[in-house]
Amino acid sequence: MKLKALSLFIFVYVLFIFDQITKWLIIERLFKQDGQDFIGWLLNMKQDRLDFHLQEINPFFNLVMVWNKGVSFGMFANDARMSVILLSGFACIMALAFAIWFMRTTSDLIKLSSILVISGALGNVWDRLRFGAVADFLDFHALGWHYPAFNVADSCIVVGVGILLFKSIFLDGKDDKKASTE
């Protein structure tokens, strides 16, 4: 049991730090160009949000600086401190639920998806607590259509949930069907 908990902590920590490093690189190094060192930035709980910035990379991808005050795709967005507390609390409850699931399952896919969802949720919670919003910077677009800007933590959540959906749609019940035909 201790090995499971330790592996969960290590993998979540690595992905959380990767998410925060990418946000620091975009905010402090690319757009501010004279920003704080990583550890100082990561632990600074009183930070102002950087204004919108855009760096064109190629015809279908930009690096941007936008702040998501809501949840996915900006839903439930407002500047109220209560919103930050409620959204952060909900994300922490979901992370705890996934941690419990991780500890109880024998499925490697559920373990992987749990690690991804937990690390993504915690990365975005840390942003909300420090900035009152989540830093988004990856902007894909084509023919005038823009996918909502997102970050590494968002990617972890989407991939983690995608793995769960794939498992439940395509893999769950296969052994049952196989056994019933024999």
Catalytic residue selected from 19, 127, 139, 154: 154
11: closest CA among 132, 108, 129, 135? 108
68: closest CA among 147, 136, 126? 136
Catalytic residue selected from 19, 127, 136, 139: 136
Asked about 19 being catalytic, the answer comes back as no
Q: What per-residue string of b and e applies to 148-180 under the rule 16 or more CB within 10 Å gives b?
A: ebbbbbbbbbeebeebbeeeeeeeeeeeeeeee
Asked about 136 being catalytic, the answer comes back as yes
Angle of helix 2-24 relative to helix 152-166, nearest 10 degrees, comes to 140
What residues are annotated to the active site? 136, 154
